[in-house]
Structure formats: C-alpha cells, structure tokens
Chain A
Amino acid sequence: MCAQPVTNTKEVKWQKVLYERQPFPDNYVDRRFLEELRKNIHARKYQYWAVVFESSVVVQQLCSVCVFVVIWWYMDEGLLAPHWLFGTGLASSLIGYVLFDLVDGGEGRKKSGRTRWADLKSALVFITFTYGFSPVLKTLTESVSTDTIYAMSVFMLLGHLIFFDYGANAAIVSSTLSLNMAIFASVCLASRLPRSLHAFIMVTFAIQIFALWPMLQKKLKACTPRCYVGVTLLFAFSALGGLLSISVVGAILFSLLLVSISCLCPYYLIRLQLFKENIHGPWDEAEIKEDLSRFLS
C-alpha cells in the first residue's frame, strides 16, 4: 500500500480498483474523482407553449365548475327555465355524442367493444332513475341549513378540482372520488332549487358537465389539438361572460386566475428548472427496464 517507495508516484497511474495495492495513501484524491458524476440526466426540457397547452386541462375544469355554478344561480333566481336548460343540454349531449365517435373515426368504440344500444340503455336508466328520485333529492336536505349546504358544495367542488385526473401520475389523483364529489355538490345545490323538476335537470346537467364533457375533451385534445384550443378558449370566454352577468369583481378575479394558471405558472415552472440539480452516478440503484412479467404469465 503506502509502504512502497513513493519515488515513482508520478509515473504510476492511479486506478479505480481495490484489488491492487497502489502506491498512494488511502485518502488519495485523484483527478478522476467524481468523473462519473452526472447531473439532471432525466430532467425534461419544457417548451413554454407546450406547457401552456397542457395547462388548458386545468383551465377547462375551472371553467366547468364556474359554468355549473352560474347555471345554478340562474335557475335559483328563476331566470332560466328548466325546460330550456334540459333542451339545450340534450341537444349538446347529442352533438357531443356524435363528435365523440367522429373525432377518432370510431376507433375507440371498436376497441372498447361497446354498442350504441348499451349507451342508450344506460342513458335511459339513468334519466328514469334520476327523474323518479328527484322528489327525494329535493327533500333530502330540507332539514340542513342553507349555509351548511353552500359550505359543503364549495368544499366538494374544491375537492373535485383537487382530485381530478389532469393526466399527472400522482397518488392523490382519483377520478372516481373527484366525480363523486362533484355529483354530491350538485345534489346539495339542486335541493335548494324551487321544484323537483329543477333538481332533476340540475343533476342531469352536472353529469353532463362533470362526467361526459371531460371525456370528450380528452379525446379532442388527443386527436385535434387545434380544435381543442379553440374549444377551450370559447368555453373559457363563455364561462367568463356568464360570470360577468352576475358579478363584475368575480369575473375579473376569475380571469386573473385563468391567466395566471395558463401563462404565469408555466413561465415559473420553466424558470425553476434552472435550479434543478439531480445527481446521478454509479452508486444509483439500477432500474430493471425490461418487462419481467412475461416469464410468469
């Protein structure tokens, strides 16, 4: 080890091996020390506009909640006739249904193997049941005070936004939980409407906007991105417009929120990437990249 003469240290080259006794002290630091250190090899380079595009999912969902609340307010005030909402909802649902198949040329349907008859059946079952139970929905929360209902709805809609599946691979994401929360909020709010027909139409509308609309959006985003951007903008503006007719301050705040989410947050994300320092080297635990389940199935 160090016992050997140190005269020819200059000529002997240090090797990163343990089995040879090298003429260097044990705490010798070579120039090659840490040469295998790599930084940020898995870091992703983000493009600003790509991130803005991705953020539109969040914007859409915020707008959905906004539109839902606005519609409920109009119904509650008696400014919107339930028949009219039902008609519009039914018409847009049919258009959406046709679009849903048109966008990808019916490939999704072939893959899932679901017939139109099955779709019709489930829609009918749902509408009948909701209609039948709407008097119950109406009186279900009569004994609960209105403030509690409002507070509960706010929490449930917030929860819906938190747990919604925006496409992130995180443990907190749960689309069932998020949909359930939204429906719960809609049932709460519907029970404050004047008649049971109102309640029925409110819940139907909630299903349309919280369950069906995101499915269509997802497909639009995957197949026709340009179209999707247009739809998002249109939707955002209509939501803003609706809010403006109720409260100017609310509309301004909401538009600020949308702008910060779609423009400021992506900018900040890209700026923060500069400070990322992820260290990699030979000491990292190796990952098994192959699919090993084929040996067991």
Chain B
Amino acid sequence: MACRGDEPGKPFSAILSWVSPGSLPTHRTRTHNICMVSDFFYPNMGGVESHIYQLSQCLIERGHKVIIVTHAYGNRKGIRYLTNGLKVYYLPLKVMYNQSTATTLFHSLPLLRYIFVRERVTIIHSHSSFSAMAHDALFHAKTMGLQTVFTDHSLFGFADVSSVLTNKLLTVSLCDTNHIICVSYTSKENTVLRAALNPEIVSVIPNAVDPTDFTPDPFRRHDSIITIVVVSRLVYRKGTDLLSGIIPELCQKYPELNFVIGGEGPKRVILEEVRERYQLHDRVRLLGALEHKDVRDVLVQGHIFLNTSLTEAFCMAILEAASCGLQVVSTKVGGIPEVLPENLIILCEPSVKSLCEGLEKAIFQLKSGTLPPPENIHNVVKTFYTWRNVAERTEKVYDRVSVEAVLPMERRLNRLISHCGPITGYIFALLAVLNFLFLVFLKWMTPDSVIDVAIDATGPRGAWTYRCSHRKRRSGKYEISKTR
C-alpha cells in the first residue's frame, strides 16, 4: 500500500513510540466512526493541530475508525493518509482569514454530507471555536441527525463588540450540540458562560504532551551561567511587552544571567530594541521561528522557563518545559494555575515587578541548590498527562453521546428559538430549515444508496489494521493508493 503523503516529521516518531510492545489494542465491545473536523490541521502548526492528530492516533489504537476533515493547504488537497491509516480529507474550500474558511452555512453541505455518508460516520467531533468549518460541520451534522461533540481550545472575553458577536454565534452553534469538551476548568467556566450551556454537558479533558519527546538533558546546559528560556510566538497576547521589561531589569542585577528566546512575531522588534539599548547582544539570543521538533533542543539548554502569556486556556508550553525538567515561572492567568502543582511552578501576577520577583526566587533556589534535579521533575510530570488518558476520557464522552438521541427537527427549532434569543433564534431556525431542505434536495439528487461506502483504513475492519496484523497476505486485499 503506497502511502505517499509527506507526514509531519515529528508525529511519525511519536507514533512509533505509541505502538511499542505492550500497547496492544484493548478489546472493546463498542467502536465508533469518528470524524474530526477543524480548519486547523497539519501542515499548519499549533496546539489544536497536534491535539487532533495525537487524539486520533490514540483512538485508532483503541480500535475506532477516525477520519479528519480540514481545508486544502496550498497544493495539499484531496485525500491523504497519515501514519496508521489516519485518513485526512483536504477539502477545496476558500480560506478567508487566519487559515479559517469562509462560512455561508450551506456551501460545504454537499461535500461534508458525501463524506459523512461514505465513511458511515456516527460522531462528528469539531475542534476550535475559531474554525468556521467546525461550526459548519456541527450545523450539517445536526441536520443529518448525527451525534456531535465540540472541543473548545480557547478563552474569550466578554467586553468588546467582536467577542459579543462571536459569543452569540457560539451560543447558536452549541445550543443543540450533544457534548462539549474543554481543556481546563477555567475554559469550561468560560465556555458555559459564553454559550449559556448546561454545565453537565461540558467535560474537562486536558491536553497532553508526549513525554518521550520532551526528556531532560542536564549536560546540555552550562552550570556557570543561568539560562532563562522563553518559547512562544512574539505577540501581544503572549506578553512579549512584559518580557521586554523583564530582560533589562534582571540582566542588570545578575551578570551571569542569559536569555534564550525562541519564536517569531510582530513584537520581535521591541525585544531587538531592548537588546540594542542595553548592549545585551551576547546575553539575549533571539532564535526566530522554531520547528516543533527543535523545541526540545532549545528547552534543555535552560534552567528556568518563563511564560508571560496574558491569556491561556491550557498552555502546553509550560508542560513541555516542565517535562524537560526546567523550573517554570509563569503568569497566573486563565487555566495555567490548574496545569502544574505548586512545587513545580512559580506563579506571578502579569506585571514586570511580580515576574521579576518570581524569577529571582527561582534563581535563588537554583543557586542554593534546592531545586529538584531535572530527571525527577520529568518523572513526576510524565505521569500527569498522556494522550492515552485523553483518548480514554474522550472515548467515554463518545460512549455517552452515542446513546443520546439527536434532537428531531421540530425540537431543534424550538431549542434554537428559546435558547438564542428571539431575533437570532428565528434567523438561525430559518437557516436550519433551509439547510434541511437543501439536504432533502441533495438526497434526491444523489441518494445515499448511490454513494460508495469508503474502504475503512482504520477501525475494527480497517484495511490498515488488517494489513498490520496480516502483513504477509498482502495480495489478498485490493489496494487504495495515495498519489500526489
């Protein structure tokens, strides 16, 4: 079977570690056909992307059938297979803003419906509230009577006009969704408030890191100097402005202190200005954009990890740093206080003064040798979050959702009207009816019986699982090949 998609390099190695001996798929009585939908997937890089990928891989390992639907990225369109037969549909939809597709609520229905039918999908799992495609898929899935799950990865305020509008749309989108997953308790509170939800249908399942990817290496760092590592995009929301205040303050106080900053962004200029003004060229290194696989190499060079985010739902970065055995100093915003226990993190208020105090405390501990060795930190942290655990808990959500009834049309309309306010409710109820009529038309044009059922790549009867266990009987199965 020729699988010729250029898989992202990092997950490949990650997966090899997953399929190590002893991780045989547990026997399950009930499997699901899951379709992950999001605008954000590889080759785009970020938290949502790796979440979808890792979760899918673990679900495949547990015997479910998983497919991913996203939009085309440049030349990468059509159907691709990733490791372990994870099938990805790159749909040719127009990208509007920030890698999110435009939404008309209707134009994606024909293709999505075709995919849902041919893959015999039972659960639609959408990711990220910034993704228009995810919301579209939820809308269509409800029209088609499929179970829906939504994962929210971000926090939102309530103050400005744009958040008022997006929150209203989220209310509409989530009011008849079966279950919602948030990545932290703070994120859950936020989502419940934003979308006016019953908190019982919101589960908290954190993200995870692959501990084998982030191992400490104490020999890489020099103990004569102290190195503070920062890895984040250099934008306002990540608190780069705070960083520009911390650097001169601490560099003047501690002559043996060095900064290593990885990441790129519009705020890089101010860091360069600070470096210029205080003549810190040899002590502040700006590495520019980092590939995911290089992050570990940067992290292990440091003693202390600094995170200056102003808002954060979960914060993978501090987890990765802690997994590499660094002492973490972070702002106390969003879901960050929930992520690590108090002895592994120093929490500060989001101000230069407080962050400097926190860093000084960490430096003092480092000098006096009261910090635990990196290996110990790593061993503690690796027990906290694993993708297997995330997949197990997500599976529970699927089990729960699959026995729930999907709202029939008239109750869905009632829910929309009663739940989303009179004006929005009626508008979206009308749109839901139009969507239903469009679906009826599509069913008349191409009946379900005309749509070929796709060959399962993963899942209980998947070609991939079959092939892995019966590698010798290659000729027995026909091939589905992937070509450029």
Chain A bound to chain B: yes
CB neighbours of B131 from chain A (8 A): none
Pair B158/A286 contact, Cβ less than 8 Å: no
Pair B273/A283 contact, Cβ less than 8 Å: no
Pair B338/A34 contact, Cβ less than 8 Å: no
Pair A290/B193 contact, Cβ less than 8 Å: no
Tell me if A288 counts as interface (CB < 8 A to partner B).
yes
- Total interface residues on A, using CB and 8 Å? 30
The binding surface of chain A is classed by DSSP as loop
Known interface pairs A26-B205, A26-B397; A283-B341 also in contact (CB < 8 Å): no
**What is the minimal beta-carbon distance from B381 to any residue of chain A, in angstroms?**
8
| Complex Cα spacing A288 to B351, Å | 6
Known interface pairs A26-B393, A26-B397; A288-B155 also in contact (CB < 8 Å): no
Tell me if B262 counts as interface (CB < 8 A to partner A).
no
| Complex Cα spacing A287 to B203, Å | 29
Binds B, one of A15-23, A62-70, A217-225: A15-23
Range of interface residues on B (Cβ < 8 Å) = 35 or more
**Using an 8 Å CB-CB cutoff, how does the interface string of B149-177 with A read, 1 for contact, 0 for none?**
00000011111000000000000000000
Chain A residues numbered 281-296 whose CB sits less than 8 Å from any CB in chain B:
281-290, 292, 295-296
Binds A, one of B13-21, B115-123, B179-187: B179-187
CB neighbours of A283 from chain B (8 A): 155-157, 186-187, 189-190, 311, 313, 334
Pair B385/A285 contact, Cβ less than 8 Å: no
A2 to chain B: closest residue by CB = B396
CB neighbours of B155 from chain A (8 A): 283, 285
Tell me if A81 counts as interface (CB < 8 A to partner B).
no
| Complex Cα spacing A288 to B396, Å | 41
Tell me if A123 counts as interface (CB < 8 A to partner B).
no
Tell me if A37 counts as interface (CB < 8 A to partner B).
yes
Tell me if B92 counts as interface (CB < 8 A to partner A).
no
Pair A27/B187 contact, Cβ less than 8 Å: no
Pair B277/A19 contact, Cβ less than 8 Å: no
Tell me if B274 counts as interface (CB < 8 A to partner A).
yes
Pair A295/B189 contact, Cβ less than 8 Å: no
**Using an 8 Å CB-CB cutoff, how does the interface string of B328-354 with A read, 1 for contact, 0 for none?**
000101110111110000000011110
Tell me if B453 counts as interface (CB < 8 A to partner A).
no
Pair B341/A19 contact, Cβ less than 8 Å: yes
Tell me if B379 counts as interface (CB < 8 A to partner A).
no
Tell me if A279 counts as interface (CB < 8 A to partner B).
yes
- Beyond contacts A19-B384, A282-B333: 18 other A-B pairs, Cβ-Cβ < 8 A, are A17-B338, A18-B335, A19-B340, A26-B205, A281-B186, A281-B189, A283-B155, A283-B157, A283-B189, A283-B190, A286-B331, A286-B333, A287-B310, A290-B245, A290-B353, A295-B245, A295-B277, A296-B273
Enumerate the 8 nearest inter-chain pairs by beta-carbon distance, A residue then B residue, closest first. Answer: A26-B203, A286-B350, A283-B190, A285-B311, A19-B384, A283-B155, A286-B310, A18-B206
A and B contact pairs by CB, cutoff 8 A, 10 listed: A18-B185, A27-B202, A27-B204, A33-B189, A37-B193, A285-B311, A288-B239, A288-B242, A292-B244, A295-B248
